[in-house]
Amino acid sequence: MKQHLEYNDLQRAAIRVFESKERIARQKALIAALKDSGLPTKEAIAELERFERSFLEMQNHRVILSDLLAPDSYSGT
C-alpha cells in the first residue's frame, strides 16, 4: 500500500482537514445566529456534531498518511 501513496495524498488530506475546520466554524456561527434570533438549534447542533466527528476522522486519516509517507517508514517496494 505504501508504494501507492504520494505526497499529493497528504496534501489533499490536509486541505480536507482545513476545509472541515472552516465548516465547523461556520456551523458554530450559524448556531449562535439561530440562538440570537430565538430560533431552534437542535438540527444545527446535530449537524455540527456530525461535522466534528467527520473532522476527527479526517484528521486521523491525515496522521496515518503522514506516518506512512515518513521517510523512515517507506520501504520503497
Question: For residues 13 and 61, is the Cβ–Cβ distance under 8 A?
Answer: yes
Number of domains forming the structure of the chain: 1
* More reliable by pLDDT, 77 or 44: 44
33-57 pLDDT per residue, tens: 999 999 999 999 999 999 999 999 9
Domain encompassing residue 58: 2-73
What's this model's pTM, rounded to 2 decimal places?
0.78
Q: 42-69 vs 7-36: helix axis angle to the nearest 10?
A: 160
From CA 55, how far away is CA 27, in angstroms rounded? 13
